[in-house]
Amino acid sequence: MPRPFRFGVNLLTPASGAEWRAKCRRAEELGYDVILVPDHLGWVAPFPALVAAAQATERPRVGTLVLNAGFHNPTLLAREVATTDALTGGRLELGLGTGYVREEHEAAGLPFGSPGERVDHLRRTVEELERLLGSAEHQPRPAQDRVPLLIGGNGDRTLRLTAEHADIAAFSGVRTGSTTSLEPLTAGELDERVGRYRELAAGRALPAELNLLIQQVAVTDDPGSALKPVLERRADLTLEAMLALPVMLVGPLEDVVAKVRAQRDRYGFTNLTVLEPQMEAFAPVIERLRAESA
C-alpha cells in the first residue's frame, strides 16, 4: 500500500502579522497538510514565521523547505529547532539543504564554498543536530522525540546523506544552472535520480517519504495559454515537452489528478509541495484526490 498523500505549500511572500495569519488559515481551509517556508534573504525569517503559522492554525504541520545549512551554526540551530518545535506543539518538520545562491552568502558575509564543501557542512549540520537533539541533556527540549528531517538535493553525496538520515527525501525536480537559474529535470532524468536514491537507501529499515516540489500548477482547458510566459523563456521546449516535465501540473483537472497518481506510481511521490502563487490553483486537485481515497 502506498503512503497516503500529503500536500504542502511553500509560503514565499513577507507579510504583516495579520496578513500572514490569514494566508496560513487559508492554507488550512484549502486542505494543506504542511505550511512551509524557504530560507532566502529578502524573504520571511523561517522560525518566527513558522511559530506564527502554528498559532494561526490547528491542523497543519509546519516546516522549512529548506534551510540553507550554510547560514546556520549547528549548535545554535539546534536551539532554534527545539524552541520552535516546543512552541508549535510538536508540529515542526525540519528541511535542510546545501544552499545554492552565492550572492546571498556574499551579502551575509558568509563563505559560499565549493559544492563539496557545502555538502560537507550539510553533513556536519545533520550529524550535530542528531547528536544534540537526541541527547536528554540538551536544553531546550523539542516536543517531539524526533523532529522529522527532510533533506533536499539531487547530487550523489546529498542523496547518500538523505538515504542515511532523512525521514523525508525531497526532490526539487530541477537543477542549478551556471547561474542561479533552475533548469527542470525531464521525467527520465528524475527517474535516474530517484533510482539512485533508492539504491543508496536499500538498507533502510523504514522507507522515507518522498517529496516533490511542483513549480507550476494551472487547472485549465488551455494549457498553451497558461504556459505561454514560460515557453517564451524556454524556446528549446515544445508545449508537449513542457507538459511532460514532472514539476509541471497543467491541464484539465482530470489530467492533473491522473498525472499526480501516475507520478506516485512511477517515482513514489506521495508528499507534494506547491509554491505560494499556486496555492489556490492546486486546491481542487487536493479535494479530488482526498475524495478518491475517502
Q: What confidence score (pLDDT) does residue 63 get?
A: 98
SS3 call for 207: coil
Greatest Cα pair distance, the chain, in angstroms, is 58
How many Cβ atoms sit within 10 Å of the Cβ of residue 45? 11
Of 158, 150, 194, the C-alpha closest to 173 is: 194
Q: What confidence score (pLDDT) does residue 198 get?
A: 97
Distance CA 219, CA 88 (A): 33
Pick the CATH number of 6-293 from 1.10.645.10, 3.90.550.10, 3.20.20.30, 2.60.40.1930: 3.20.20.30
Contact 217, 250 (CB under 8 A): yes
Q: How do the pLDDT tens digits run along the chain, 294 residues long?
A: 779 999 999 999 999 999 999 999 999 999 999 999 999 999 999 999 999 999 999 999 999 999 999 999 999 999 999 999 999 999 999 999 999 999 999 999 999 999 999 999 999 999 999 999 999 999 999 999 999 999 999 999 999 999 999 999 999 999 875 445 678 999 999 999 999 999 999 999 999 999 999 999 999 999 999 999 988 888 888 999 999 999 999 999 999 999 999 999 999 999 999 999 999 999 999 999 999 886
Listed by start position, the domains of the chain span 6-293
Of 87, 76, 99, the C-alpha closest to 49 is: 87
Contact 210, 267 (CB under 8 A): yes
Contact 256, 219 (CB under 8 A): yes
Q: What confidence score (pLDDT) does residue 235 get?
A: 81
CA 82 vs CA 120, 145, 150: distances in Å: 23, 10, 16
Contact 182, 176 (CB under 8 A): yes
Q: What confidence score (pLDDT) does residue 180 get?
A: 52
- Residues with Cβ < 8 Å from 148, sequence gap 6 or more? 92, 93, 94, 167, 168
